[in-house]
């Protein structure tokens, strides 16, 4: 049975992404624990307690809009990079 070889670039990228995901999970868990502690130890104002001059915006909506823009931007950059590589690659006859 043939063995599947792993591309070193893919393996490195996979390890990097896995490490980033683990770090993000730890950071989120740590922040959640800190917020729980701070909420019990200190008086933490809610978003509703902000001054009335500050527009009420849902933080999750900001995240969705921002990451949606980033995804579209990255997709167009990928398309451009692909077209540039195709333009400079030798043509096969």
pLDDT band at 50 (very low <50, low <70, confident <90, very high): low
**37 part of a folded domain:** yes
pLDDT band at 59 (very low <50, low <70, confident <90, very high): confident
**12 part of a folded domain:** yes
The domain containing residue 43 runs over which residues? 8-88
For residue 80, pLDDT over 70 is answered with yes
Nearest to 56 by CA among 46, 64, 66, 44: 46
Phi, psi (rounded to 5 degrees) for 33: -65, -40
**72 part of a folded domain:** yes
**93 part of a folded domain:** no
Distance from C-alpha of 71 to C-alpha of 23, rounded to nearest angstrom:
22
Q: What pTM, to 2 d.p., does this model score?
A: 0.54
Structurally, the chain folds into a number of domains equal to 1
């Amino acid at each position: 049975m043939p063995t599947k070889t792993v591309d070193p670039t893919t393996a490195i990228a996979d390890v990097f992404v896995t490490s980033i995901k683990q770090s993000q999970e730890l950071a989120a868990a740590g922040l959640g624990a800190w917020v729980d502690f701070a909420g019990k130890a200190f008086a933490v104002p809610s978003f509703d307690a902000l001054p009335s001059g500050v527009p009420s915006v849902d933080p999750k909506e900001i995240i969705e809009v921002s990451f949606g823009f980033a995804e579209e931007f990255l997709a167009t950059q990928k398309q451009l990079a692909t077209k540039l590589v195709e333009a400079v690659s030798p043509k096969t006859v």
